[in-house]
A and B are shown apart, each in its own frame.
Chain A
Amino acid sequence: MTATAPAFTGRRRQRRVAEAHLGWWMIAPVLIVLAANSIFPLVYAVFVSFHNFQLLIPVPHRFVGFANYARIFRDALFWSSLEVTLWFIAGVVFLQFPAGFGLALLLHRLRRRQDLLVTLFLVPTIIAPSVAAFQWAQLYNYQFGPLNYILGLFHLGRPTWTADPQLALPALVFVDFWEWTPFMTLLLFAGLRSLPQNIVDAARVDGSTACQVAWRIYLPLLRPVIGIALVLRILMSVKLFDIIYVLTAGGPGTVTENLAYFTYIEGFRYFNLGYACALAILQLIAVSLLAKLLIRMTRRPGVAHVIPAGGAA
């Protein structure tokens, strides 16, 4: 026994090592695909962002350190596109979320035809954004658009929706609202359905009004779902491109040019790849920090204390 024990331990170690190796071999294809598809492009983008990389100028690319990043903060178009991006984010937080939550509550209260309504609600979301933008281009048409026709019936004038510097951005924020509020509704509705009904019943027995239930029970309990919904939608609104490209191409002037469109112009119209990569990396860092902050806020302890004592009983 004494002679075979070390041999047995050695074989077991060998087997463990072999199993560990086997594990690595088995996940190797995934790691290779991940490295090729995500990690390499990201690392290369970081590399390019530190170079004077202009595709159209046939000269060697120079290392320029943080010059591209420094240029971003001096670029007036960056600040104006950041402002446009913030308007879209504000649209998500102050329009889409309240409207989505309200619609989710209405759906939740319905006893019949919930499935049909959910399907209908989803129609704007499942339409390709570029197709939706074409539809809205028709709706906003100054001369033939139904919107102006209806306004004309009431002698309310004929706005030039996407051509008016004052109206173009609100018009686009509204298209985003129309397209993605149902998505917000769906996420919050799913969250509402997963909440324990006994808490709500207990609150009602204690005399809570519908508003109190919504404000003091649903909202706190839905905090993780709200956090996910807001993070997803804010990320999507930062990346928003299709409806801007189709409806206004960033115009009139640059009043609807957001960060994603500005980065596209720098990267694919002027082919300033170094600068475009610096813009993209900066957005990645900013959005990652924002997402982390939002997720941390939704995980803060203290959800339990908002449940009324009666409800908990």
Chain B
Amino acid sequence: MKHRWKNVHRHGLAAPAAFSRRGFLTGSAALATGAAGASLLGDGFIAPNAFAAAGTVNVEVDAGQNENPFRWKSAQMKSKFGFDTKLIGLPFVGQYEKLVSELTARSSAYDVLVFPPYFLGDFVALKFLRDLDQYKSLMDPKLADYLPVYRDPVIKRNGKTYALMYDGDLLQISYRTDLFENAKERQDFKAKYGYELAPPETWDQYMDIAAFFTRPPQLYGTAFYAARGFCYAWFVNIFAGLGGKWFDDDMKPGINTDAGIKALETLVKMKQYSPPNILQIDYPTLNEVFLNGSTAMVVQWDDLPLKVENPKMSKVVGRGGFAPCPVRSYMPYSRVMAVSAFSKDPENAYRLASYMQQPEVSITYVYDPDCGQDPYRVSQLKDDAVKNHEGKPTMSPAAAKSYVAAIRDGLKAGYPELSIPGAPRYLDILDLYVSQALAGSLSPKAALDSAAREWGGITDAEDKDAQKEAYTAWIKSFKDAGVQY
């Protein structure tokens, strides 16, 4: 036996001199017995998380602040599961085309995919995602704690769970309390419009307040996301409040009905109460125009209040009030985590996704101003939970109370984001034509008629009956969750 390993290959590898089948079988049996025995010895011999010897879980996420929670939790996941977390940031606008291009080519570059739920219809139809129900035994995702509006309608399709929540999004109003509570402003407003100055409850009131506070160049009444890429959401937010619906029962588009035309006319008119660079305003610039004190009131995603109260980011700390949007609050974007069908390590990918949305983990980041994540669990809607990931309060108790109440009230009247097969194309076409109306290239009616015509084409291309079925099922899931539609 002594000489068995003495032969050395020319590449320097030792090779057995007399390698026999019996020797191989004996060795294998010994190794297997040893491994089995060792596992029975328990924690003292093999670490409990040895299953996770796999190296790295690749997470695709839109680049920027939304990567931060993964960064904050990567060390914990390394010690708990043994894998490293590698973040692959994609641009916010362009994320869909990049993902579709790569997943169509069956790329295994990503294990966990973080994307907005409106991609889900296409991704399930194209078989890009794994059914997560098969992995639930690895770690209970505790779905019973999800706010109903984010549970079945958002993460499930055809009765199967394809995603877990990472971010629950909602549009809401942030307004300047120093202006709204100022005695002279209130008096002047009442004299001019005949009712009290307060957070608006209708879109007509919103426009009155915006007009009242427009005092350029120091102060503008409002601002909104008007840049191409997501301006459609601010149109839908008004459209929802005016009673608009995505489609009728026969899949005829509802966007060019009276509610749609009035909504787009309102949005176009809103430009005159906004900063001059309104057509360039996107998510960060919309934050900026409120945080620098140049705007009295904005409709923005519900993470803005956390930034308002952060002295490092805001010139209006302590002067922010928060309210739901008039009548309905649109719920655009959000983010879910899903496991790629082409992941080579789906179990660890699931562990990562499930861990990130556990109640005790997610509560540490949904109120942190350094990320864009917002509440999606019942257990997160508590005033005293408004803290950053290090456990420090991020708002005064009064502001936290107003903020959490605005989220709760907004969700009660939440308007769901379209999430059926083809949703990214429906929404992108709508965005294109809303953007053309905002630029003045088309009238609101002409823009919406064109968008509706193209929506009809998408519906026909996707198969009208299948679309009708998907739309009906999706609406039913919202109604079952208690959302009026």
Which residues does A use to contact B, with CB under 8 Å?
54-59, 76, 142-143, 158, 160, 162-165, 248-255, 268-271
A134 to B45: give the CA distance in the assembly, Å.
56
Q: Are B228 and A249 in contact (CB under 8 A)?
A: yes
A163 to B275: give the CA distance in the assembly, Å.
12
A105 to B432: give the CA distance in the assembly, Å.
45
A57 to B275: give the CA distance in the assembly, Å.
41
User: What 7 new A-B contacts, CB under 8 Å, besides A56-B100, A56-B425, A165-B441?
Assistant: A55-B104, A76-B450, A163-B278, A251-B439, A255-B441, A269-B97, A269-B428
A249 to B282: give the CA distance in the assembly, Å.
12
Q: Are A253 and B278 in contact (CB under 8 A)?
A: no
**Inter-chain contacts of A251 with B (CB < 8 A):** 227-228, 279, 435, 439
A177 to B265: give the CA distance in the assembly, Å.
37
Q: Considering residues B101, B280, B462, which has the most beta carbons from chain A within 10 angstroms of its beta carbon?
A: B280
Q: Nearest chain A CB to B207's CB is how many angstroms away? A: 22
**Inter-chain contacts of B437 with A (CB < 8 A):** 253
A297 to B436: give the CA distance in the assembly, Å.
40
A27 to B101: give the CA distance in the assembly, Å.
34
13 sampled A-B residue pairs with Cβ under 8 A: A55-B100, A57-B462, A58-B126, A142-B277, A158-B276, A160-B277, A162-B280, A163-B280, A249-B93, A249-B229, A250-B228, A255-B439, A268-B101
A248 to B436: give the CA distance in the assembly, Å.
13
**Inter-chain contacts of A76 with B (CB < 8 A):** 450
Interface bits B109-123 vs A (CB < 8 Å: 1, else 0): 000000000000010
The reply on B442 being an interface residue by CB < 8 A is yes
Q: Nearest chain A CB to B399's CB is how many angstroms away? A: 27
A300 to B53: give the CA distance in the assembly, Å.
73
Partner of B125, one of A58, A160, A248: A58
Q: Are B126 and A163 in contact (CB under 8 A)?
A: no
A142 to B96: give the CA distance in the assembly, Å.
29
The reply on B12 being an interface residue by CB < 8 A is no
The reply on B440 being an interface residue by CB < 8 A is yes
Shortest beta-carbon contacts, A-B, top 4? A253-B439, A252-B439, A251-B228, A253-B436
Q: Are A56 and B279 in contact (CB under 8 A)?
A: no
Q: Nearest chain B CB to A286's CB is how many angstroms away? A: 24
User: A163-B280, A254-B441, A271-B100 are known contacts. Are A56 and B435 too (CB-CB below 8 A)?
Assistant: no
A271 to B101: give the CA distance in the assembly, Å.
9
User: A165-B439, A270-B428 are known contacts. Are A143 and B277 too (CB-CB below 8 A)?
Assistant: yes
A255 to B275: give the CA distance in the assembly, Å.
21
User: A56-B122, A57-B462, A165-B441 are known contacts. Are A253 and B228 too (CB-CB below 8 A)?
Assistant: yes
CB nearest neighbor in A for B289: A143
CB nearest neighbor in A for B275: A142
User: A56-B422, A57-B462, A163-B280 are known contacts. Are A252 and B97 too (CB-CB below 8 A)?
Assistant: no
**Inter-chain contacts of B96 with A (CB < 8 A):** 269
Q: Are B100 and A252 in contact (CB under 8 A)?
A: no
Which residues does B use to contact A, with CB under 8 Å?
93, 96-97, 100-101, 104, 122, 125-126, 227-229, 275-280, 422, 425, 428, 432, 435-442, 450, 461-463
CB nearest neighbor in A for B93: A249
Q: Are B432 and A254 in contact (CB under 8 A)?
A: yes
**Inter-chain contacts of B227 with A (CB < 8 A):** 163, 249, 251
For chain B, what secondary structure do more than half of its interface residues adopt (helix, strand, loop), or is it mixed?
A: helix
**Inter-chain contacts of B276 with A (CB < 8 A):** 142, 158, 160
Q: Considering residues B104, B228, B422, B437, which has the most beta carbons from chain A within 10 angstroms of its beta carbon?
A: B228
Partner of A160, one of B93, B101, B280: B280
**Inter-chain contacts of A255 with B (CB < 8 A):** 439, 441
**Inter-chain contacts of B126 with A (CB < 8 A):** 56, 58
**Inter-chain contacts of A268 with B (CB < 8 A):** 97, 101
Q: Are B435 and A253 in contact (CB under 8 A)?
A: yes
CB nearest neighbor in A for B126: A58
A231 to B281: give the CA distance in the assembly, Å.
38
CB nearest neighbor in B for A271: B100
**Inter-chain contacts of A160 with B (CB < 8 A):** 276-277, 279-280
Partner of B279, one of A59, A158, A252: A252
Q: Nearest chain B CB to A168's CB is how many angstroms away? A: 9
A271 to B425: give the CA distance in the assembly, Å.
9
Q: Considering residues A143, A163, A251, which has the most beta carbons from chain B within 10 angstroms of its beta carbon?
A: A251
Q: Are B277 and A163 in contact (CB under 8 A)?
A: yes
Q: Nearest chain B CB to A260's CB is how many angstroms away? A: 15
CB nearest neighbor in B for A157: B276
User: A56-B122, A56-B126, A56-B425 are known contacts. Are A253 and B277 too (CB-CB below 8 A)?
Assistant: no
CB nearest neighbor in B for A148: B277
A163 to B277: give the CA distance in the assembly, Å.
6
**Inter-chain contacts of A248 with B (CB < 8 A):** 228
A250 to B229: give the CA distance in the assembly, Å.
10
Q: Considering residues A57, A76, A160, A164, which has the most beta carbons from chain B within 10 angstroms of its beta carbon?
A: A57
Q: Nearest chain B CB to A146's CB is how many angstroms away? A: 16
Q: Are A165 and B440 in contact (CB under 8 A)?
A: yes
**Inter-chain contacts of A163 with B (CB < 8 A):** 227, 277-280
Partner of B461, one of A54, A142, A143: A54
